[in-house]
Chains A and B, each alone.
Chain A
Amino acid sequence: MKFYKSKFFVICLAVAVLLVLIPSALSIFGYTDIVRSALKTAAKPFEWCASKAADAVSGFVGVFTEYDDLKAENEELRAALEAAENDEYEKEVLREENDWLKSYLKMKTDHPSLLLTDAAIVAREAGNYSTVLTLNRGSVHGIKKNMPVITADGVFGYVSEAGLDWCKVVSIVETASSVSAYTDRGGAVGVVEGDSLLRGDGQCRMIHIDAESDIKIGDKVYTGGTGNIYPDGLLIGTVVSIEANESDRTLVAVVEPAVDFSDINATSRVMIITGYDAGGTQK
């Protein structure tokens, strides 16, 4: 008890009380005393080091303590990612369907006299170019042999064989294909047919063009409507080269079809023309 009656104890108690009262009072009035401020400033670099060390330790310990949380979070994120991917896939399907419907609408507007039936490609010929395809429409859908088949870009070909619920389509680049045609700019007329040499490049040729005809590279080629298959005014393609046929004094033009046969796949859709006005169609 001697200690508690000593001057030292009284001084210590007074100092302790002052160290409680002064900083508290200054804090209440919004001030910071200079001693505390100096101490805090001196400790700052050490505090920075200590907090970095604590972060490192927490990170290391976290490997063991947060494993279950991270695993659960990982599973949640995986599920969310899968849902987002499915959502994106559905959006892509809807976008493609929307594009198809837009092109379908445009074709109906451009050719109001055509009666169209949409069809999906269910099989294709193996090879670089899918020039012979099987569609999911047949006789039960009103499909008959020699009906023309088109896409939003232009003429694709014609139905060569119709089954109950399927049909086979031969493209305009096949050698079996032949269609009367004309160019829009100069009015040159001829016949577009498949060529065994050009088929591999996805091209066909326009023959029997009068030597005096006004035809240039870049001219658009349309169906003439004089045969039994195609109506008038459907886009076939573009002239990419012209050469003279010395044997019968005519011109032969190589035509790049508007339809990209290399881009035809299982998701592509085509339309079968099931009927049209005898007078032809409007471009």
Chain B
Amino acid sequence: MTFHRRNDTPKSAVLKRVAAYGILFFILGVAQCSFFTNLSFLSAVPDIVLGAVAAVALLDTQKTAAICGIASGFMIDALGGSGLSLSPIVYFAIALICSELSKKMLQSFLSWIFVLAAASVLNSLFTYAYISLSFENAAFSAVFKSILLPEALTTAVFSLPIFFIVKLCVRIAEAKNKFKM
């Protein structure tokens, strides 16, 4: 049993894909930077854009995931970041790693949970690296308890439904993977 992803898409399909993902990531970016940041009862802001990047990596091609990662990282920095903007590189790297992980996976919800967990762990590693470089005295236990764990958990919880939204976008863009017996 083998399967591969379609890399050659017609021009209209590319445009559809750009429009679908553009709108999706824009909405998710605004939601992340303006909606979830204002929810006082959440202990951390969920990185749902990262979840969307991971979902694209699972459901679409590696190239698409890479472009989505760079673009969404730039957008997140533009909407909510200040100072040093590392998100394009971080999201790009996560998109590539998740895409590599999902190459031999079925595009199922179970696979999605695994990819999402991997994306959360990777994001936590990048976050801890950034904190360690910025603050020399940052203790791992304190950072893990107060920043990394809440962020990973909220990201995992709020990103779960994104699998179905991205799947819908993939279907709209006619970029579904071909499955051959």
Contacts and interface: CB of A to CB of B under 8 A. Distances in A.
B89 interface: yes
Nearest to A13: B92
Contacts of B10: none
Interface residues of A, number: 32
A23 B77 contact: yes
B64 to A, nearest CB: 11
A164 interface: no
Contact of B35 (A3, A19, A20, A54): A54
A50 B79 contact: no
Interface in A2-22: 3, 8-9, 12-13, 15-17, 19-20
A40 B78 contact: yes
Contacts of A35: 78
A54 B41 contact: no
* Residue among A3, A12, A20, A46 having the largest count of chain B Cβ atoms under 10 Å: A20
Contacts of A28: 83
B78 A20 contact: no
Contacts of A72: none
Contact of A17 (B30, B34, B84, B89): B89
B46 interface: no
Interface residues of B, number: 33
Contacts of B83: 24, 27-28
Interface in A107-149: none
A38 to B, nearest CB: 9
B85 A54 contact: no
Nearest to A45: B30
Interface of A, helix, strand, loop or mixed by DSSP: helix
A65 B35 CA distance: 18
A57 B39 contact: yes
Contacts, number: 88
A58 to B, nearest CB: 5
Interface in B29-82: 29-31, 33-41, 62-63, 66-67, 70, 73-75, 77-79, 82
Contacts of B66: 8-9, 12
Contacts of A55: 38
Nearest to A35: B78
A54 B38 contact: yes
Nearest to A23: B85
A47 B85 contact: no
B52 to A, nearest CB: 16
Interface in A58-111: 58, 61-62, 65
> Closest 6 interchain pairs by CB?
A54-B38, A50-B34, A36-B78, A47-B34, A50-B35, A19-B88
Interface of A: 3, 8-9, 12-13, 15-17, 19-20, 23-24, 27-28, 35-36, 39-40, 43, 46-48, 50-51, 53-55, 57-58, 61-62, 65
28 contacts: A3-B62, A8-B66, A9-B66, A12-B70, A16-B89, A17-B89, A19-B70, A19-B73, A20-B86, A20-B88, A20-B89, A36-B77, A36-B78, A40-B78, A43-B79, A46-B26, A46-B27, A47-B30, A47-B34, A50-B30, A50-B31, A51-B35, A51-B38, A53-B35, A54-B37, A57-B39, A58-B38, A62-B40
